Structure 1
Amino acid sequence: MLTRDETVLLIIDVQGKLARLVHDSEALVKNISKLVRACRILGVPVLYTEQYPKGLGVTVDSIRELLVEEAPFEKVSFSCCGAEGFMQHLRTINRNEIIVTGIESHVCVYQTSVELIEYGYNVHLITDAVSSRSRDNRDIGIHCIETAGAWVKSTEMVIFELLKIAEGEQFKAISSIIKE
């Protein structure tokens, strides 16, 4: 089970034109936004990356607006682990549970997840918050990440797993996010 003090949210390359081209892009962006907002309420750190932003553009506005406290890790490697400073920063956060979201499931999300697992992290892949340009590539990416040892979860599942109890101000705030 995820705990707030052991978890970090990772958003991989939800950028520009590509974000609009992936399978079920509207749901992807909506679910990642819910996760960011819930993590803010629960005190879970958020990291995000951008794959060659000069060519692919920056993170989509609706998510970037929620990330004003963070700067993206720019990368040209498919795996986030190859981005300059990414692994060093992740190690300084000192959290072993990584919630993984983003695009594309069969490329950057896949390679990042497998590499994180190889480094000893527990990857929690949020299947309704990852995608690829085609549904087939999305599905094969999810399958391969799960086969590599990741936990496969949904947005609501992971939010309630972090929340733990159905009472108090955090529960009220989270409930309004879930209902959107």
Structure 2
Amino acid sequence: MLSSMSSPIPGALLLCIDLQDIFLKAMPDAGRLSSRCEFAIEAARLLGIPVAFTEQVPQKLGPTAPQFLKAAAGGTRRKPQQLAKNTFSALADDGIRETLLEKHKVEHLILCGIETPICVYQTALDAINSDLQVTLLTDCLSARRPDDAREALAALIRLGAYALPSETIFYSVVGTTEHPAFKDYTKLVKKYST
């Protein structure tokens, strides 16, 4: 579990799953989801937690929506990592699995994105089965069918995943008003409070 600390979580990575326009348009709460995911991406970047994006068959379905890539870049010219897949679980793709587990040495996946009962669920399940810690940012997930999403989240929690709102997680990383990023983080919270 994430504990209060003044430095980034060792081995953590925020994995944003399939935040592509074609899928966003199908979500009943697309505006809220976009805002909360942008918040999570900016918070992770501010706190030194790496961010990566998966894209479901991007050559057919399009890339990650630009606002998320912009949030991850944070005004730099550095291009965020975009990982194409045709599997529902990101970790079922050998290239993504190698990138995350061997190159980035990920030990803790923080997940946001869509769709909760499909790609998010299968990615989290594979991560748990690979002995990774998994945290699901509950306000940064969505599905076409909310009842299905609730059932999938409940199943993942029973299997050992943590499911909490993004502010809860990132305030746990900040831990104290003495954290060097505290003021910038609270500004970010206010920016995305509406």
Structure 2 residue aligned with 1:175, among 186, 191, 194?
A: 186
- 1:5 matched to 2:10: yes
Cα distance, 1:55 vs structure 2? 2.6
Counterpart-to-counterpart distance in 2, 1:19 and 1:149: 28
**How far 1:125 sits from its partner (Å)?**
0.7
Counterpart CA distance in 2 for 1:115 and 1:142 is 14
In structure 2, relative to structure 1, the CA distance for the partners of 1:65 and 1:82 (3 Å cut) is same
AA of the residue aligned to 2:107? N
Name the residue aligned to 1:58: 63
Q: Which residue of 1 aligns with 2:5?
A: none
Unaligned runs of 5+ in 1: none
Q: Secondary structure at the match of 1:32?
A: helix
Q: Count residues in correspondence.
A: 180
Aligned position for 1:155: 166
The answer to whether the aligner puts 1:166 opposite 2:164 as a matched pair is no
What TM-score, normalized to structure 2?
0.86
CA-to-partner distance for each residue in 1:95-139, whole Å, 9 max, x for gaps? Answer: 311111110000000000000000000100111111111211221
Task: Note if contact 1:4-1:42 (Cα within 8 Å) is conserved in structure 2.
Answer: no
Residue 129 of structure 1 aligns with which residue? 140
Report which of the two has the higher share of helix: 1
Q: What corresponds to 1:17 in structure 2?
A: 22
TM-score (ref. length: structure 1): 0.93
- Which secondary structure does the structure 1 equivalent of 2:134 belong to? strand
Give the superposition deviation at 1:23: 3.0
The answer to whether the 8 Å contact 1:99/1:126 transfers is: yes
Query: Could you tell me whether the CA contact under 8 Å between 1:9 and 1:46 is conserved in 2?
Result: yes
Q: Do the aligned residues in 2 keep the contact of 1:9 with 1:45 (CA within 8 Å)?
A: yes
1:124-168: CA deviations, max 9, x gaps? 011111111121122122122212220111010011011111135
Amino acid at match of 2:87: S
**Pairwise CA RMSD of aligned residues?**
1.5
Q: Which amino acid aligns with 1:74?
A: A
Name which of 82, 85, 89 aligns with 1:72. 82
Which is worse superposed, 91-100 or 64-73? Answer: 64-73
Report the Cα offset of residue 169 of structure 1. 4.3
Separation of aligned partners in 2, 1:16 and 1:85:
24
Distance 2:161 2:60 in 1: 30
- Aligned amino acid, residue 42 of structure 1: L
Residue 66 of structure 1 deviates from its aligned partner by 2.4
